[in-house]
């Protein structure tokens, strides 16, 4: 959530920035500032009441020692009234603080000035396009047909076991999945990201910390008996490793990478654009997460974008980079770049990565701070990106590298797969 001090100091700027999201936030910001003023006023009254009660308590002790019992008893009655007042004020303060917190939770992050105006994904800005799109003509097959032809993925078996959106990878299809995960992790660790293995279930505090809750409950699988959630991305457990931490300045940059399965209830409509691997309820993804000093977070974002570019270049996939417009920007992000690869079998672009800077938005929820040069605590900046999400990368590999006698495997993956081509057995 946005730091309250940012709203106090820059209310008009925040409201203007949020217009890029299509939100008229002036009333929301005004309400938050009114709640903040009420909370601060109550806090001041609580502090003053407690200070007066403490002063009287000391005076009562002095009076008793001086043998002035009658005066001391009179003050005890006044002290009792102050304690009752303090308790009532404390309850009002708790209510006001909770109301302020809930209002802050409803306000999305303010977009960075470079975020384009726009209402939806059709208004996203194409930053660059790299690589030639293969022209296979009418012979190009979509990945679901290739997966069936070469017995790589069984979608119907997944429906039998669980339901739609839970495919079963088989044989060389499973081996290719494992190869991609291993290659992505090795590539990331070679760039200085520390590999971590994290839980695939998180508690409510973790969901709140990275902004999945209370915004996206409907998209997450919940284990109601234990009040736990299946993770929608490794970003959630990895970033929460640093929840409630105070870092030293020398700790930056902090760089993590991890592989996890991801679970998303998001349904989907019907049609080719969600067929096969295009949209799943369970999928594999390798994530990179960085925690940075605020002065370096946008340089770090550029480095992460270049890092993901390197992965796609090594795989030989044609790709493009988009800067998301305000209307397509995620709730917690200040700036996001999406990566899309060309799907030769479907004739369209497929998203395979989002790389985002959240600035202090997540850190404020997480209470993730660092000590500055004056030994004061400040909020850190958090960033994350997919490096990479597997389903559509796999779809792109099958479709773009299909040949008459099989599917060619990129050279960088061959040490991991143990084969250079997928062909009919």
Predicted confidence (pLDDT) per residue in 106-142, tens digit: 999 999 999 999 999 999 999 999 999 998 888 899 9
pLDDT band at 65 (very low <50, low <70, confident <90, very high): confident
Predicted confidence (pLDDT) per residue in 26-50, tens digit: 999 999 999 999 999 999 999 999 8
- List C-alpha distances in Å: 256 to 287, 300, 335: 8, 13, 20
Q: What are phi and psi of 260, to 5 degrees?
A: -150, 155
Nearest to 355 by CA among 326, 327, 392, 382: 382
Q: What's the confidence (pLDDT) of residue 268? A: 52
Whether the pLDDT of residue 68 is over 80: the answer is: no
Q: What's the confidence (pLDDT) of residue 137? A: 80
Whether the pLDDT of residue 330 is over 60: the answer is: yes
Per-residue tokens: 182: 């291993």
Whether the pLDDT of residue 204 is over 80: the answer is: yes
Known binding residue 79? Answer is no
CB-CB contact of 220 with 264 (8 Å): yes
Instruction: Report the C-alpha gap between 223 and 230 in whole angstroms.
Output: 8
Known binding residue 41? Answer is no
Q: What SS3 state is found at 248?
A: coil
Per-residue tokens: 8: 């106090």
Mean pLDDT of the 12-39 span: 97
* pTM of the predicted model as reported, rounded to 2 decimal places: 0.92
Instruction: Report the C-alpha gap between 214 and 106 in whole angstroms.
Output: 8
Predicted confidence (pLDDT) per residue in 247-275, tens digit: 999 999 999 999 999 999 975 544 556 79
Q: What are phi and psi of 403, to 5 degrees?
A: -130, 175
- List C-alpha distances in Å: 287 to 216, 218, 256, 385: 20, 23, 8, 6
Whether the pLDDT of residue 53 is over 90: the answer is: no
- Strand bridging mode 282-292 / 254-263: antiparallel
Known binding residue 287? Answer is yes
Known binding residue 264? Answer is yes
Instruction: Report the C-alpha gap between 394 and 425 in whole angstroms.
Output: 20
Domains of the chain, start order: 4-105 (1.10.287.40), 121-422 (3.30.930.10)
CB-CB contact of 358 with 334 (8 Å): yes
Buried b (16+ CB within 10 A) or exposed e, 204-230: eebbbbbbbbebbeeebebeeeeebbb
CB-CB contact of 294 with 174 (8 Å): no
- List C-alpha distances in Å: 87 to 51, 83, 351: 14, 6, 54
Known binding residue 351? Answer is yes
- Strand bridging mode 254-263 / 348-357: unpaired
Q: What are phi and psi of 286, to 5 degrees?
A: -105, 130
**Least confident span in 12-16, 133-137, 229-233, 376-380:** 133-137
367/74: higher pLDDT: 367
| Other CB atoms within 10 Å distance of the CB of residue 300 | 19
Predicted confidence (pLDDT) per residue in 83-109, tens digit: 889 889 999 999 999 999 999 999 999
Whether the pLDDT of residue 318 is over 60: the answer is: yes
CA-based end-to-end distance of the chain: 54
Known binding residue 354? Answer is yes
CB-CB contact of 174 with 419 (8 Å): no
Known binding residue 240? Answer is no
Instruction: Report the C-alpha gap between 142 and 153 in whole angstroms.
Output: 13
CB-CB contact of 384 with 362 (8 Å): no
Instruction: Report the C-alpha gap between 125 and 131 in whole angstroms.
Output: 18
Side-by-side strand order, sheet with 369-371 = 246-247, 369-371, 377-379
Tell me the helix, strand and coil percentages in the chain, rounded to 5.
50, 20, 30
Mean pLDDT of the 271-283 span: 85
Known binding residue 265? Answer is yes
Known binding residue 94? Answer is no
Q: What SS3 state is found at 289?
A: strand
Instruction: Report the C-alpha gap between 306 and 314 in whole angstroms.
Output: 12
Q: What's the confidence (pLDDT) of residue 424? A: 84
| Other CB atoms within 10 Å distance of the CB of residue 416 | 16
Q: What's the confidence (pLDDT) of residue 62? A: 80
Instruction: Report the C-alpha gap between 255 and 289 in whole angstroms.
Output: 6
Q: What is the DSSP string of 143-197?
A: HHHHHHHTT-EEHHHHHHHT-TT--EE-HHHHHHHHHHHHHHHHHHHHTTPEE--
Predicted confidence (pLDDT) per residue in 165-203, tens digit: 999 999 999 999 999 999 999 999 999 999 999 999 999
Q: What SS3 state is found at 87?
A: helix
Known binding residue 45? Answer is no
């Amino acid at each position: 959530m946005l730091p309250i001090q940012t709203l106090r100091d820059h209310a008009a700027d925040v409201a203007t920035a949020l217009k890029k999201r299509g939100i008229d936030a002036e009333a929301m910001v005004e309400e938050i500032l009114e709640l903040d003023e009420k909370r601060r006023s109550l806090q001041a009254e609580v502090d003053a009441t407690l200070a007066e009660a403490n002063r009287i308590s000391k005076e009562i002790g002095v009076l008793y020692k001086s043998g002035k019992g009658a005066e001391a008893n009179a003050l005890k009655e006044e002290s009792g009234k102050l304690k009752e007042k303090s308790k009532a004020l404390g309850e009002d303060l708790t209510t006001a603080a909770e109301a302020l917190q809930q209002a802050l939770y409803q306000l999305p992050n303010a977009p960075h000035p470079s975020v384009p105006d726009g209402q939806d994904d059709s208004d996203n800005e194409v930053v660059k396009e790299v690589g030639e799109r293969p022209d296979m003509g009418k012979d190009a097959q979509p990945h679901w047909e290739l997966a069936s032809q070469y017995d790589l993925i069984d979608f119907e078996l997944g429906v039998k076991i669980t339901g739609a959106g839970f495919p079963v990878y088989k044989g060389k299809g499973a081996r290719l999945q494992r190869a991609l995960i291993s290659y992505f992790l090795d590539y990331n660790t070679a760039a200085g990201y520390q590999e971590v293995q994290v839980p695939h279930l998180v508690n409510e505090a973790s969901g709140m910390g990275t902004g999945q809750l209370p915004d996206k409950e409907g998209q997450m699988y919940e284990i109601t008996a234990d009040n736990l959630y299946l993770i929608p991305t490794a970003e959630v457990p990895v970033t929460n490793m640093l929840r409630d931490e105070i870092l030293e300045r020398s700790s930056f940059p902090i760089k993590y990478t991890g592989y996890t399965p991801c679970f998303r209830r998001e349904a989907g409509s019907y049609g080719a654009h969600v067929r096969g691997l295009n949209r799943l309820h369970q999928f594999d993804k390798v994530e990179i997460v960085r925690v940075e000093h605020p002065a370096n977070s946008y340089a770090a974002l550029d480095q992460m974008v270049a890092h993901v570019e390197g992965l796609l270049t090594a795989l030989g996939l044609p790709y493009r980079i988009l800067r998301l417009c305000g209307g397509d920007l995620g709730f917690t992000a200040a700036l996001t770049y999406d990566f899309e690869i060309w799907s030769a079998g479907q004739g369209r672009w497929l998203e395979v990565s989002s790389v985002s800077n959240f600035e202090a938005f997540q850190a404020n929820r997480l209470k993730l701070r660092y000590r500055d040069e004056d030994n004061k605590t400040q909020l850190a900046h958090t960033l994350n990106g997919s490096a990479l999400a597997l389903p559509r990368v796999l779809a792109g590999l099958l479709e773009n590298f299909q040949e008459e006698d099989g599917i060619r495997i990129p050279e960088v993956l061959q040490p991991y797969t143990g084969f250079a081509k997928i062909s009919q057995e």
